[in-house]
Amino acid sequence: MVRIGGFIVGVGFVFALLLGIFDTVYNWIKEPPAATAEHEFHAHPKKVDFSFNGFFGKYDNRQLQRGLQVYKEVCAACHSLRLVSFRDLEALGYSEGQVKTIAKGFQVPSLNPETGEPATRDGSPADRFPLVYANDVAARAANNNAIPPDLSLMAKARHDGSNYVYSLLTGYKDQKGYKNEKGEELLKHFPEAKTPEGLHFNPYFATLNLAMAQPLKDGQVTYSDGTAATLDNYAKDVSAFLTWTAEPKMEARKTAGLATLIFLVIFCFLAYGAKKQIWRNVKD
Amino acid sequence: MSFPWAKQYEPKHPVMKWVDDRLPLPRFVYNAVGAGYPVPRNLNYFWNFGVLAGMFLAFQLVTGIVLAMHYAANAGIAFDSVEHIMRDVNAGWFLRYAHANGASMFLLVVYIHIARGLWYGSYKAPREMVWLLGVVIFLLMMATAFMGYVLPWGQMSFWGAQVITGFFSAIPGVGETIRVWLLGGFAPDNAALNRFFSLHYLLPFVIVGVVILHIWALHIPGSSNPTGVEVKSEQDTVPFHPYYTAKDGVGVGVALLVFAALIFFAPNMLGHPDNYVPANPLSTPAHIVPEWYFLPFYAILKSFTIDFIFPAKLWGVLAMFGSILLLFFLPWLDTSPVRSANYRPTYKWFLLVLLVDVLVLGYIGGASPTPGVILIGQIATVYYFLHFLVILPIVSAMERPRPLPNSITEAVLGGKGGTAQTALAAE
Amino acid sequence: MATHDDAVTQDGAIDAPADPRRRDYLAIGAVAWAGVGAGVVALPLINQMSPSADVLALSTTELDVSAIQPGQSVKASFRKQPLFVRNLTQKEIDEANAVPVSDLRDPQTLAQRTKEGKQNWLITLGVCTHLGCVPLGAGEGENKGPFGGYFCPCHGSAYDTAGRIRTGPAPTNLHVPEYEFISDTAIRVG
């Protein structure tokens, strides 16, 4: 009974699928899917040799501090960092006093104690980085109908995030004459992919054109530790900083991981030895 | 059931005797997993996976309860509460990563456990009930995992909930009503999130209950073994403790190694970056994909593209659920008197093809839907249903199996799966 | 190779140990090592219930007291509880010092409850030590009770100008939290 019922159901599903297979093949031959500009010209992120890569990777605090500087002087104009508290910055090697000073440099929401109207006050270490815009509508109004995303998790919210941020920031290109690895020219193959008004071409961005103009240029930020004031360095440093904002516990995680793996490898040897010992007289 | 030669519980310590006289729990443990439970001596490492599944269930319960002390199930703050756990709660990052990757480990271990069942015919009489309860556990696990993934309220949480609850609207007539009732609204929102949290907390305890029944049902006939030949005498068995407690210890060590490697060095590898973006009902992600353990079923769902009597969407939903529900009927679809595929030379090849087929379906479920991908998915889905509903009944009825060993002991000592002749010669 | 199957050994202990010195030690070692691991894993599971970093960050509060005139007091917040900051007048200080300490349920002098050289600054939690209500007297125009300090409307506990319990069911004086003057006009509590 079960087998008969099952057979009928099976034949039913298979028949519906065969119709689908026929349809798929037919349409594939009749109308092969067209390649899209995004598919052919989207570039994979460039690989950066970050200090925090790998099993034993660690953050470079100097680099993170430079990245914070780039964020404050350039990115903070539009991008919030709302999940990071000022007190977290002590992990970058700042003293309590330095953290207080950084916090004071930002205005956080507060209330006027007399009238109860919304007001702002100087930030304190317990506060988080404040939002830039009051709400999404204000954000769009100020940025050509695009919302600058919060950057706290950007390095985890994109595939290969750390390399992606670096590649995006250094990846702005002139669309005219742009060729991909195969040597095909974008505008020749996909003339309709011309960058719309108000957007900017960047092959590292998923849809190739994004609302943010190139934010960083050589010489824009002056580093106090002598690191060269180049776009490449800014991009690396701010990308490292954003990796930290997304994963502040990375170093603790890797250290705990190493200890755990060593512990478990030893345990496996002990367990296997014990098993062999206990089973020594039993052929199995 | 215990075998007649099973050791009896004799408490030596006076405290244990005192407890046992009043509440036979020590005796119960002794007979279930102690020296009082005889088990076939020839179980291989595939038999570890049931215990590993129980272990990961326990891990999920502990990490989950602890996470629930800090999580807030309200659409306005759920995402931020998870980030609060990751950043501010002491060792919160460890708990969160352990719970997220623990779910993957739990399902990985259960899939291998199911594969063992398929290969060695563990679902056959007299163990059909063990298998049925197991399929129930699997369904409960999938529901729990789905609801758990919604809780962080990221983009994939929201859109995954949107897609999965959308299935119900495929049911003709009442479908949309059921969907709205499930969600408590017209789209996933605070109502859905709150009830998913409640049910996500509840179902694992239901799973524990069904697991107890599952093990109880197993202990009636006792464990099967790689030959599929039942236990005949004392020589065929060893007591569970210390033999299989030790062997399980090795399995636990290896499983924990894999688990630790994931948590500490690749905590986001099995996840999706889009879930680190807060849920936005106005912006659909480019590729909505479920977690890896749902991918084969997702591929089956997407394989039905033509309306034929039913709309294609309904076919897809029916096939997706059908692909799991047919497992309930496995003991009656497979009529071979031989349990283990080791002794079923024809069937075992089909089983290997099925294994590859499921892996292919898994890949297809996550791939971009180009015509080539869709086609392979459709062919793989055809094989999946053919295997269980057409091939298996026919092959199991017609197959000529290899001769079975007379007993487990003979199989183990005889070397090459001996026959009655070789066994006599060896004695 | 043995012709009789010695798998009949049901229990490793019954089997005559081939090498008694090596017997069981691996098993004991493995279990002990696992126990160590279990203990180490238990630590984060227990520690996660301790206050998280954001709660600890709010465990101190800084206040500017320059605006508070003698005779005035303000209600502030400290660890999410009410904090009473009062600038005592000389009359209030004298009243407090005139009370014989032996008469008090919870004997303390005003000097013990304030900082040296800043006896006029009375900083206490605004939580009645009876059952936790917020006493009156810190706000403008509130009832300061029969002793001119604070008065709890819930069950009638009355505190004096040094925040000490005088009548009513409260067992101890209003709690003075740890604080210090970080400048002449600002304090840090906690």
ipTM: 0.95
d(CA C150, CA C84): 10
Mean pLDDT of C82-103: 92
Chains that touch B (3 or more CB pairs under 8 A): A, C
Q: From C167, C187, C166, select the one nearest C178 (Cα to Cα).
A: C187
d(CA A225, CA A67): 12
Residue of A nearest to C44 (CA): A256
Mean pLDDT of A98-118: 91
Mutation site for B-interface testing, chosen from A3, A164, A265 by largest number of B Cβ within 10 Å: A3
Q: Helices B347-366 and B92-120: crossing angle, nearest 10°? A: 150
B287: annotated active-site residue: no
Q: From B197, B200, B202, B181, select the one nearest B74 (Cα to Cα).
A: B197
DSSP three-state, residue C86: strand
d(CA A273, CA A277): 6
Please tell me the predicted confidence (pLDDT) of residue C61: 86
- For residue A136, being part of any structural domain is answered with no
Strand order in the sheet with C73-78: C73-78, C81-87, C121-125
- For residue A99, being part of any structural domain is answered with no
Nearest to C27 among A125, A126, A278 (CB): A278
Is the per-residue pLDDT at A155 higher than 90? yes
| Interfacial A residues in 241-260 facing B (CB < 8 Å) | 246, 248-249, 252-254, 256-258, 260
Q: In the 3-class helix/strand/coil scheme, how is C130-163 assigned residue by residue? A: CCCCCCECCCCCCCCCCCEEEECCCCCCEEECCC
Measured distance between the N- and C-terminal CA atoms of chain B, rounded to whole angstroms: 30
CB-based burial, C128-162: b 16+ in 10 Å, e otherwise: bbbeeebbbbbeeeeebbebbbbbbeeeebbbbbb
Is the per-residue pLDDT at C13 higher than 80? no
The DSSP string of C94-120 is HHHHHS-GGG-SS---HHHHSBTTBTT
Mutation site for A-interface testing, chosen from B47, B86, B96 by largest number of A Cβ within 10 Å: B86
Please tell me the predicted confidence (pLDDT) of residue A227: 94
- For residue A96, being part of any structural domain is answered with no
Nearest to B7 among C10, C52, C54 (CB): C10
Q: How many Cβ contacts (< 8 angstroms) between chains B and C?
A: 56
Please tell me the predicted confidence (pLDDT) of residue A184: 84
DSSP three-state, residue A111: strand
What is the token pair recorded at B56? Answer: 């990961």
Please tell me the predicted confidence (pLDDT) of residue A188: 84
Element (H, E) at A264: helix A250-278
Quote the domain boundaries for residue A237: 39-80+148-248
Nearest to A17 among B267, B304, B326 (CB): B304
Q: Which domains does chain B have, with CATH numbers?
A: 1-37 (no CATH), 45-425 (1.20.810.10)
How far A203 CA lies from chain C's nearest CA (Å)?
40
Please tell me the predicted confidence (pLDDT) of residue C189: 92
Instruction: Please give the C-alpha separations between residue B279 and each of A118, A242, B78, B125, C145, in angstroms, as whole numbers.
Output: 28, 21, 10, 48, 54
Element (H, E) at C183: strand C179-183
- For residue A85, being part of any structural domain is answered with no
Strand order in the sheet with C148-151: C148-151, C158-160, C165-167
Residues A212 and A167 in one domain: yes
Mutation site for B-interface testing, chosen from A128, A275, A276 by largest number of B Cβ within 10 Å: A275
Count of CB atoms within 10 A of residue A226's CB?
A: 6
B291: annotated active-site residue: yes
Please tell me the predicted confidence (pLDDT) of residue B103: 98
Catalytic residue among B247, B272, B302, B387: B247
- Name residue C148's beta-bridge partners: C160
Answer yes or no: do A282 and C7 touch at CB < 8 A: yes
B412 residue type, one letter = V
Residues A179 and A239 in one domain: yes
Answer yes or no: do C7 and A274 touch at CB < 8 A: no
Contact C157, C128 (CB under 8 A): yes
Residues A189 and A233 in one domain: yes
Specify the residue for token string 């689908």: A20
Residues A21 and A74 in one domain: no
Please tell me the predicted confidence (pLDDT) of residue B423: 41
Catalytic residue among B81, B104, B223, B336: B223
3-state helix, strand, coil split of chain B in percent (to 5) is 70, 0, 30
Catalytic residue among C4, C130, C155, C175: C155
Total count of domains within chain A:
2
Cis amide linkage into residue B242, ω under 30° from 0: yes
Chains that touch A (3 or more CB pairs under 8 A): B, C
- For residue A259, being part of any structural domain is answered with no
For chain C, percent of residues with pLDDT exceeding 90: 61
Answer yes or no: do C27 and B242 touch at CB < 8 A: yes
Answer yes or no: do A13 and B385 touch at CB < 8 A: yes
B13: annotated active-site residue: no
- For residue A167, being part of any structural domain is answered with yes
Answer yes or no: do A24 and B250 touch at CB < 8 A: no
Nearest to C48 among B89, B234, B239 (CB): B89
Q: From C95, C94, C67, C59, select the one nearest C189 (Cα to Cα).
A: C59
Stronger pLDDT, B411 or C15, i.e. the higher one: B411
Residues A55 and A182 in one domain: yes
CATH number at residue A72: 1.10.760.10
How far C190 CA lies from chain A's nearest CA (Å)?
14
Q: From B3, B1, C43, B25, select the one nearest B11 (Cα to Cα).
A: B25
Answer yes or no: do C45 and B239 touch at CB < 8 A: no
d(CA B376, CA B296): 12
Catalytic residue among B99, B104, B124, B248: B248
Q: Looking at beta carbons, which residues of chain B come within 8 Å of C12?
A: 242
What pairing do the DSSP bridges indicate for beta strands C179-183 and C165-167?
Answer: unpaired
What is the token pair recorded at B236? Answer: 């065929």
How far B62 CA lies from chain C's nearest CA (Å)?
9
Residues A10 and A73 in one domain: no
Q: Kindly list the residues of chain A whose beta carbon comes within 8 Å of any beta carbon in chain C.
A: 85, 87, 124-126, 263-264, 266-267, 270-271, 273-274, 277-278, 280-283
Please tell me the predicted confidence (pLDDT) of residue A192: 83
Contact A41, A186 (CB under 8 A): yes
Residues A22 and A44 in one domain: no
- In B111-152, beta strands by DSSP E: none
Q: From C177, C159, C178, C160, select the one nearest C168 (Cα to Cα).
A: C159
Residue of A nearest to C28 (CA): A274
- For residue A22, being part of any structural domain is answered with yes
Q: Looking at beta carbons, which residues of chain C come within 8 Å of B55?
A: none
Contact A175, A186 (CB under 8 A): yes
DSSP three-state, residue C125: strand
Residues A71 and A15 in one domain: no
Q: Looking at beta carbons, which residues of chain B come within 8 Å of C8?
A: 234-235
d(CA B408, CA B401): 17
Residues A197 and A71 in one domain: yes
User: From the first residue on, what is the mean pLDDT of each consecutive set of 10 residues in chain B (427 residues)?
Assistant: 85 93 93 92 97 98 98 97 98 98 98 98 97 98 98 97 93 94 95 98 98 96 95 93 95 98 98 97 92 97 92 94 96 96 96 98 95 96 96 94 93 62 42
Contact B263, B97 (CB under 8 A): yes
Answer yes or no: do C44 and B91 touch at CB < 8 A: yes
- For residue A203, being part of any structural domain is answered with yes
Mutation site for A-interface testing, chosen from C23, C33, C36, C63 by largest number of A Cβ within 10 Å: C33
Catalytic residue among B70, B219, B241, B348: B219
Element (H, E) at C180: strand C179-183
Mutation site for A-interface testing, chosen from B87, B324, B410 by largest number of A Cβ within 10 Å: B87
How far A206 CA lies from chain B's nearest CA (Å)?
10
Please tell me the predicted confidence (pLDDT) of residue B265: 97
Instruction: Please give the C-alpha separations between residue B260 and each of A69, B45, B98, in angstroms, as whole numbers.
Output: 36, 20, 8
Residues A158 and A231 in one domain: yes
Mean pLDDT (chain C, rounded): 86
Task: Count CA within 13 A, CB hemisphere, residue A115.
Answer: 4
Check CB contact of C37 with chain A, cutoff 8 Å.
yes
Answer yes or no: do B90 and C3 touch at CB < 8 A: no
Check CB contact of C27 with chain A, cutoff 8 Å.
yes
Contact A125, A100 (CB under 8 A): yes
Please tell me the predicted confidence (pLDDT) of residue C19: 54
Please tell me the predicted confidence (pLDDT) of residue C11: 45
Residues A178 and A220 in one domain: yes
pLDDT in tens, A140-153: 999 989 999 999 99
Q: From B270, B228, B234, select the one nearest B106 (Cα to Cα).
A: B270
Residue of A nearest to C8 (CA): A282
Nearest to B303 among A17, A83, A279 (CB): A17
Query: Band of the pLDDT at C60, cuts 50, 70, 90?
Result: confident
Contact C129, C179 (CB under 8 A): no
Query: Band of the pLDDT at C22, cuts 50, 70, 90?
Result: low
Residues A18 and A75 in one domain: no
